[in-house]
Amino acid sequence: MKIHFPGKLVFGKNTLEQLPDEVTALSCTRALVVTITPLLGQLKGFVSKLEASGVQVQTNTSIVNEPSFAEVQQLLQEVKGFNPDVVIGIGGGSVLDVAKVTAALLENEQGLKDIVGIGFLKSRPKKLICMPTTSGTGSEVSPNSILVDETDNQKKGIISPFLVPDIVYVDPLLTMGVPAAITAATGIDALTHCLEAYTNLFAHPFIDVYAYEGMRLIAANIVQAVQNGNDEEARTQVAMGSLLGGFCLGPVNTAGVHALSYPLGSAYHLAHGLSNALLLPYVMEFNYVAAPKRYADVAVALGCEREADDVKTALKGIDKIRSLISACGIPARLRDVGIPKEAIPQMAVDAMKITRLLKNNPRPITEKDAIDIFNAAY
C-alpha cells in the first residue's frame, strides 16, 4: 500500500479565518484563488487579509460544472501571466480538481495530455492549498483529478501523488449554505467512496479504518444535514465522513459504482454524486454475493443490526442505502432523470473503458453485466 497525506491538515469550524496567516507564512507574493461566484461574499475577508499582507490575489470563477480539458487549458492561459506562487482551491470537487491540475501545470514542461492516467505527472511547480465547501468528493486529500475530454466526451483521471495538496483546511461551516439537493448527492458520493473502498478487491486494513468510520458518520447524519442544513453538528460529522472517504481514494480507490456512473456524467451531464446514488443499490445487489462478509460489515456501519448470517445482514444494508437515498430526496431511477433507455448499451460500452476502477470491483463486471445493472436501475 502507498498513501500520500497532505503536508498539513486543519479541520474545524471557522478555520477559514486562519487561512490568510497560513498563506503568508509560505512567503508567497502572488496567490491564485480558484472558486465559484456564490462564495465570493464569504471569501471577501480572506482576500482582503491577503492583500493587506502584501499578497497579490487573482480570483478565477470560470469552473461552474464538471470541468473539461478545454476549460483547464483556458484557465491556464488566463493565469499564465500572473504566475502565482500558490494556487488555492476553495469550492466543490470540480473546483478543487481544477486547482490541483493548475498548480501542477503552471511552469511545467509537461502538458495536460501528457499527465492523463496513473503516475504520469512528474512534478508540481506551485504550492497548493485546498479547502472544500461541499462534503462529497474528498478531492482535498486525494491524488486524483477528473476531467472530461471533449474530444471523445469521456471522463478521464489524472492520478499522481503530486496532486495531493501541501495544506488542507476543512471548515464545516462553509457547507452550511449548500442546497439540500447538492448536500444529498455529494453526501451519498462520499458514502460511496467509503463503501467501495471497504468492499474493494484491494481493500486494506489501514484504509478500512477510514472507510468504516466514514460510512458510520455519513449514514448517521446525512438525512439531518439534508433536511436541516443549519444543523452544525450534522454538517460537521458529514464533512468528517467526506474527508475520511477522500483518504480512501489514493491507496484503494472506488470500483463498479463509479465506473458505471462515469457515462451518466460525461454523456448526460448528471452531477457526479447523483450518478453514484442512482446506481449504488443496484451495484451492491450485483456485488454482495462475491463478498457477503464485507457487505454485512457495511450494513452494520450503516446502522443495521447483524442478522443470523452475512447474506441476510448484507441485504439489510442494501435496504438501508435505499432508505437513505429516499429520505434525502434523491431520484431512485435512471428514467427519473431523463436517461433514455436506448442509451443503455452505449453507456455499458463506455463504462467498460474505466478499467482502472473496474479492476477493483469485488465481482468482475462484463459489458452484459453493466447492461443488466443499468436496466435494473432504470
- Which tens digit of pLDDT belongs to each residue from 146-173? 999 988 888 899 999 999 999 999 999 9
**Average pLDDT over every residue of 109-123:** 95
How many CB atoms are located within 10 Å of the residue 226 CB? 26
Q: Is 152 helix (H, G, I), strand (E, B) or coil?
A: coil
Dihedral sign, Cα of residue 177, residue 178, residue 183, residue 187:
negative
Strand partners, 368: none
Task: Place 303 in a pLDDT band, splitting at 50, 70 and 90.
Answer: very high
**H/E stretch holding 166:** none
How many CB atoms are located within 10 Å of the residue 120 CB? 13
Dihedral sign, Cα of residue 248, residue 249, residue 254, residue 260:
positive
Mean pLDDT, the chain, integer: 96
How many CB atoms are located within 10 Å of the residue 333 CB? 12
pTM: 0.94
**Burial grade of 355 (CB within 10 A; 0-12, 13-18, 19 or more):** exposed
**Residues 258, 175 contacting (CB under 8 angstroms):** no
| For the chain, the helix, strand and coil percentages under 3-state DSSP, each to the nearest 5 | 55, 10, 30
**Average pLDDT over every residue of 328-348:** 95
